Structure 1
Amino acid sequence: MANVLVFIDNPGQALKKSSLELLTLGRSLGETAVALNGDLSDDVSAAFAEYGVSTVFRPSAADLDDYLVAPKAAYLAAAVASSGAGTVLLDNSPEGKDIAGRLGIRLSAGVITDVVAVDADGTAHKSVLAGSYTTEARTTTPVTVLSVKANNVVPEPASAPSNPETITVEVPADATATAARITAREQKVASGRPDLTDARIVVAGGRGLDGDFGPVEQLADALGAAVGASRAATDAGWISHDAQVGQTGKTVSPQLYISAGISGAIQQKAGMQTAKVIVAINKDAESPVFEIADFGIIGDLFDVLPQATEEIKKRKG
């Protein structure tokens, strides 16, 4: 029986870096199983073997995505019972934390969110106060549910591949009876850019763009980077909320983070302070972002970004 159960929701054709991080963390805590929702492609199956997964659980119901998160929590609870796992790992996305809370209620389990590391004895290190402090926490329940922030674990395959068995888990018949059903979906237009949380380079814009993300997107495309944004920019409707980086958005840890027109308040810092190199561009020399930047440019981003884009294109050409 597995010690750790990792929930992976709709991986598509290949596992995201954040999922590989969960598998790596799980393996450090003991034998790891996966509760999978969605299709199991050949590449994903191969990745499970490469990362030492012992068992892959799949739901008996194929329509979990037709509802909001309640049926997924019910399925995950059934998978915990089948696996005998004492620790459940999920991603720290809003949906992941929602499922974690509902799972905690179903299992009477302790739930810890915003986890950045877990010790072998089960002690969770939790990022608090916009990343200013890390606290330690442990549950006193038989099952512990942890939602883990991305970009805090280096993905590492197992020393030897496994041969996972696949087991079907019966989803309780009443799981969908009172669940909120999704009535319509709108396909997001693919940008061709890397996923924000997995990107090696991120170019982010804020209030200083005054609604025009063109210069940020052009530089990002020249660099093969993802586009991020401050909460002020997403709340203003200049860019979708899934681009938000910060305390209430996504956490990124790229090799290079370029901040353009963002003040660098603590809420933004919480989402990007682990970037290896931070470059800040702002007209205000007193902007807090310069306190954490490795390189700072005091200037008008509408002058700086186009020049940088043209120079990069020349060098690539």
Structure 2
Amino acid sequence: MKALLFMETDGEKVLGGSLELISAAKALDAEGTVLIVGSRAAADMVAAFGIPVICIDTASDCDTVTAVLEEVVKEQNPEIVLLSNTALAKDIAPRISGRMGLGCVSDVIGMSKTDGKVIYTRPAYGGTVLENIEIEGTAVVTVRSGSFPKPEEGSKAAVTEKKVEIPADAIKAKIIDKVKDICEAVNLEEAEIIVSGGRGMGNAENFKLVEELANVLGGVVGATRPPIEDGWICRSHQVGQSGKIVTPKLYIACGISGATQHTSGMSGSNYIVAINKDEEAPIFEIADVGIVGNVNEILPVMIEEMKKAKEEAK
């Protein structure tokens, strides 16, 4: 089986769970080739994992990247095209699928081979069930970050630089300006510890307890939609269907009831701690540890105990 792995970069390093695609390809015993657009430094870094890399510097946005990927797919003729489930990949994958008549599966969390056929597993209905999908012919697949382990470095593979001519009519939209969110640097997808707050925190002042606990633990702050809409924290921190899909080692849900829109974005966490005053809250159904009580009284105690534990560990 031949696999083409598209890895998104920020110009210097690979973004999101793109490196995990190497492990995903190995799980299928597939012969992988990586495509990186616009960053020779990132291409060299990926090649250190023992997988050949094609580096193309003629694309920078969704339209041009789609055109480049289409050409490389035609050239490589892979049986599977893997992309990390980033915002850009969610735009690119269906475009490639539609243009080339290929199958498309999004938000995959598992892949396996049965009788020579690949079965893709993905959550459905807000994560309440898992569905298995089989694709005839070449499949374009976006993989949820955290679904596969990071690969180990191996013998350095080759990096091939190529030029792809992008026709003028391939560019459908022109970016004339960008506004940078001051919270843009937050990286929820790769965080190992996330402390999230919901409507139950009460107000912006109380929400600072969530931020303090995250700082003590060396984690990242997450949030449900209500705190964001009320202006307690910026939208870059949103976890859920309309936010980020996260899979940290530890997820602490503070004052979060557990609506499907939120839990579908964090139910893949390795260990979940939930704090809520309502013992019937749905969040407790997926939590490994549930604490029933007033979150604004419990968090100060947790923060102090965590600080003590860190001092004792020094």
What's the TM-score, normalizing by structure 1?
Answer: 0.87
Equivalents in 2 of 1:282, 1:49: separation in Å?
46
Matches of residues 148-167 of structure 1 in structure 2 within 5 Å? 148-157=143-152, 160-167=155-162
| C-alpha deviation, 1:305, in angstroms | 1.6
SS at match of 1:96: helix
Could you tell me which residue of structure 2 aligns to residue 9 of structure 1? 8
Q: Pick one of 96, 104, 110 that aligns with 2:103.
A: 110
Could you tell me which residue of structure 1 aligns to residue 200 of structure 2? 208
Q: Pick one of 51, 57, 64 that aligns with 2:49.
A: 51
Equivalents in 2 of 1:269, 1:191: separation in Å?
23
Is 1:59–1:75's contact at 8 Å kept on the other side of the alignment?
A: no
SS at match of 2:163: strand
Q: How large is the RMSD of aligned CA atoms in angstroms?
A: 2.3
SS at match of 2:5: strand
Q: Pick one of 236, 239, 260 that aligns with 2:233.
A: 239
Equivalents in 2 of 1:192, 1:118: separation in Å?
31
Could you tell me which residue of structure 2 aligns to residue 261 of structure 1? 255
Could you tell me which residue of structure 2 aligns to residue 133 of structure 1? 129
Equivalents in 2 of 1:92, 1:173: separation in Å?
28
| C-alpha deviation, 1:167, in angstroms | 2.4
| C-alpha deviation, 1:308, in angstroms | 1.9
Could you tell me which residue of structure 1 aligns to residue 23 of structure 2? 24
Equivalents in 2 of 1:279, 1:210: separation in Å?
19
SS at match of 1:203: strand
SS at match of 1:89: strand
Matches of residues 218-233 of structure 1 in structure 2 within 5 Å? 218-233=212-227
Could you tell me which residue of structure 1 aligns to residue 81 of structure 2? 88
Question: Is residue 182 of structure 2 the alignment partner of residue 184 of structure 1?
Answer: no
CA distance change for structure 1 residues 71 and 274 in 2, over 3 Å: closer, same or farther? same
* Corresponding residue pairs, total: 305
SS at match of 1:18: coil
Q: Which amino acid aligns with 1:206?
A: G
Is 2:254–2:276's contact at 8 Å kept on the other side of the alignment?
A: yes
Is 2:16–2:86's contact at 8 Å kept on the other side of the alignment?
A: no
| C-alpha deviation, 1:152, in angstroms | 0.8
Question: Is residue 35 of structure 2 the alignment partner of residue 35 of structure 1?
Answer: yes
CA distance change for structure 1 residues 211 and 103 in 2, over 3 Å: closer, same or farther? farther
Equivalents in 1 of 2:182, 2:3: separation in Å?
36
Could you tell me which residue of structure 1 aligns to residue 292 of structure 2? 298
Is 1:151–1:251's contact at 8 Å kept on the other side of the alignment?
A: no
State percent identity of aligned pairs.
35
| C-alpha deviation, 1:57, in angstroms | 3.3
Question: Is residue 96 of structure 2 the alignment partner of residue 98 of structure 1?
Answer: no
SS at match of 1:246: coil
Matches of residues 71-86 of structure 1 in structure 2 within 5 Å? 71-86=64-79
Could you tell me which residue of structure 1 aligns to residue 167 of structure 2? 172
Q: Which amino acid aligns with 2:118?
A: G
| C-alpha deviation, 1:303, in angstroms | 1.9
| C-alpha deviation, 1:204, in angstroms | 0.5
Is 1:202–1:254's contact at 8 Å kept on the other side of the alignment?
A: yes
| C-alpha deviation, 1:214, in angstroms | 1.1
Could you tell me which residue of structure 1 aligns to residue 266 of structure 2? 272
Runs of 5+ in structure 2 lacking a partner? Answer: none
SS at match of 2:122: strand
Is 1:27–1:52's contact at 8 Å kept on the other side of the alignment?
A: no
Equivalents in 1 of 2:24, 2:166: separation in Å?
27
CA distance change for structure 1 residues 101 and 24 in 2, over 3 Å: closer, same or farther? same
CA distance change for structure 1 residues 92 and 191 in 2, over 3 Å: closer, same or farther? closer
| C-alpha deviation, 1:21, in angstroms | 0.7
| C-alpha deviation, 1:159, in angstroms | 5.4
Equivalents in 1 of 2:274, 2:300: separation in Å?
15
SS at match of 2:146: coil
| C-alpha deviation, 1:224, in angstroms | 0.8
For residues 217-266 of structure 1, what are the alpha-carbon distances to aligned partners after superposition, in whole Å with 9 as ceiling and x for unaligned?
Answer: 11111111011111333344433333222233322222211000100123
Q: Which amino acid aligns with 1:109?
A: L
